[in-house]
Amino acid sequence: MNVTIIGAGYVGLLSGACLAEKGHRVSCVDISQQLVEQLNQGKPHIYEAGLAELLGRALDSGRFRATTDLDSSLDRCDLVIVAVGTPSENGVIDLSSIVQISRRIGLYLRTRDRHLSIVIKSTVVPGTTDTLVRSEIASASGKDFPSFGLGMNPEFLREGNAISDFMEPDRIVLGYEDDKTLQLLEELYAPWEADKIRVNTRTAELIKYANNILLATQVSTVNEIANLAAALGNIDVMDVVRAVHLDKRWNPILEKGRVTPGILSYLVPGCGFGGSCFPKDLQALRSQGREKGIPMHMLNAILKVNDSQPRQVVDTIAHELGDLTGKTALVLGLSFKPGTDDVRESASLKIVRSLLQKGVKVIAHDPVATHNFKTALGTPGDKLHYVDSWTENVDKADIVIVATAWPEYQELSQLHLEGKVVFDARRMFQPSAFTKGKYLSIGRRMS
C-alpha cells in the first residue's frame, strides 16, 4: 500500500520505518526541511535501539522517504496516518496540531475528487476522531463524512522496545467509522498475525488510555504500599511484593513452571513513573472525565502518589543523615527509565532539584540522557556536575542514588562503599549486597 504518515516524530518515524520493512511504500511528511533531509540521509533524530538500521534498510529498499510536500504525498497515497504530537497544556490535552492537520487535509480534499481515509495514530482523548477531526475535515473540505473515511489506530510502543512492539505486536486495534477505512486498515496490517480488535474510533481511543492507566495504577499502588512498609519499619516491601507476585492470578503456574508476566515489573516499588506518556495521558483523561462530570478519583490518586514519590528518596536520606548541606551525592540515571534518552517527567529531575535545594553537591551520570537532562533542568549553578564515568566518581560521594535501573549500575555492589549511603530507588539490589555502606531504599526502613 501507499501510505502517508503526517509527523516524523517518535511514533510517525517508527511506524513509517516498520511499515516500510513489511513492504508498504511510506512517505513521511514533516514541516521541518532540516529533519526531512536528515531522515533521507538515514539519520534518525531520536534515540531508539535499532532505528538507524531499520531506517537505513527502509531507505535502501526505496520504500521510505521523508518529504515536506504534503499534497504530492497525499496524491499518491491510499491511506493517511496522522502521528502529530498531542502535548499536555496544564493537564489538558492540546489538540491544536490535530486540528491544524485535519483542516489541512480538508483543504486538500476540497481540491481533489477522491476518497481518502484519515487514520489518527496520535493519542487523543475519546471522541476526538468522530467529532473534532470529522468536523474540521468536513468544514475545510466542504464535503461531509463518509465522502472521506475516518479511523483510529493507537500505538502501544514502549520507548526502548518500540521496534519489536511494532513488528511483533500483542494486538492491533483497528478503530473505524466506515467500512472502506476498515478495509484499508485490514490491508495495512495484513502482514501481521496478531489479535486484531475492530471497534469504533472512540473505543479505540479509550483502549489506549485504559492500557496506560492500568499500568500506571500498578506502579502507584505498589509505591504507596512501599511507603507504608517503610513507615512501619522492620518490613522490606520486596518480601511483600515477591509473595504477591506468586499469586497464580498474577503469575500462572503452567506445566513448565511459572510464566512471570511482564506486568509484574510494574509491580516493583520505585521513585515513580515518568516519560512522555503515562503522566500526560493520565492528566488528559482526568481532565476529560471531570469535564463530563466524572470526578476520576483513581486517576487523581495515581498521579498524586506519583508526584510525591521522588520526595521519598531525599526525605529518607535526610531522615538518616540529618542536615545534608555540603554533602555530595552521585545520582546514577537521569532518563525516566533505562534504554532511552528521554528525561520527560523523569523522577531524577525532582530528585536532583530537591538535593540542590538542600545544599547538596550533585554529581550526575547517565549513559545517554545527560544532554537532554541538562536542557530540561536549566542552569542550576555550580553545585551540579555531569560525568562520563560514574565508577571514577563513587569515591567523591557521600551518597549514591540509583535513580534509573540501567544494567551497568549493577556493578555498584562490587565497589568500595565504606562509609557511604547507597539509596536504591529502583530496587535493583538485594540489601545483603551492601555489607560495607549503608543501604537505603524505597519500602524498607529496618529500624
Interface positions with ligand UGA (CB under 6 A): 123, 155-159, 212, 215, 219, 265-266, 270, 273-275, 277-278, 281, 336-337
> For residue 49, what are the contacts with CB-CB under 8 A and spacing of at least 6?
160, 161, 163, 339
- C-alpha 169/C-alpha 167 separation (Å) is 6
- Residue whose CB is less far from ligand UGA, 266 or 386: 266
- C-alpha 282/C-alpha 300 separation (Å) is 8
- Residue whose CB is less far from ligand UGA, 271 or 394: 271
Strand partners, 400: 330, 422
- Residue whose CB is less far from ligand UGA, 237 or 360: 237
The span from the first CA to the last CA of the chain, in angstroms, equals: 64
Q: Which grid coordinates belong to 108?
A: 486538500
| Distance in Å, CB of 159 to ligand UGA, minimum | 4
Distance of alpha carbon 418 from the chain centroid = 37
- Residue whose CB is less far from ligand UGA, 73 or 335: 335
| Distance in Å, CB of 277 to ligand UGA, minimum | 3
| Distance in Å, CB of 427 to ligand UGA, minimum | 10
- Residue whose CB is less far from ligand UGA, 277 or 360: 277
| Distance in Å, CB of 278 to ligand UGA, minimum | 5
- Residue whose CB is less far from ligand UGA, 158 or 353: 158
Contacts 24+ apart (CB under 8 A), 92-97: 92/283, 92/284, 92/287, 93/124, 93/125, 93/280, 93/284, 93/287, 93/288, 95/124, 95/125, 95/128, 95/132, 97/7, 97/122
Q: Which one of 28, 77, 271, 277 is the catalytic residue? A: 277
| Distance in Å, CB of 279 to ligand UGA, minimum | 9
| Distance in Å, CB of 272 to ligand UGA, minimum | 7
Q: Which grid coordinates belong to 58?
A: 527502509
277: annotated active-site residue: yes
| Residue nearest ligand UGA (C-beta atom) | 265
Please, where are the H alpha helices in 22-143? Answer: 33-40, 51-61, 70-76, 96-110, 134-141
The Cα angle at residue 35 between residues 31 and 39, in degrees rounded to 5: 125
Contact at 8 Å (CB) between 356 and 383? yes
Contact at 8 Å (CB) between 229 and 236? yes
Q: Is 323 exposed, middle or buried (0-12, 13-18, 19+ CB in 10 A)?
A: exposed
Q: Tell me which residues are annotated as active site.
A: 277
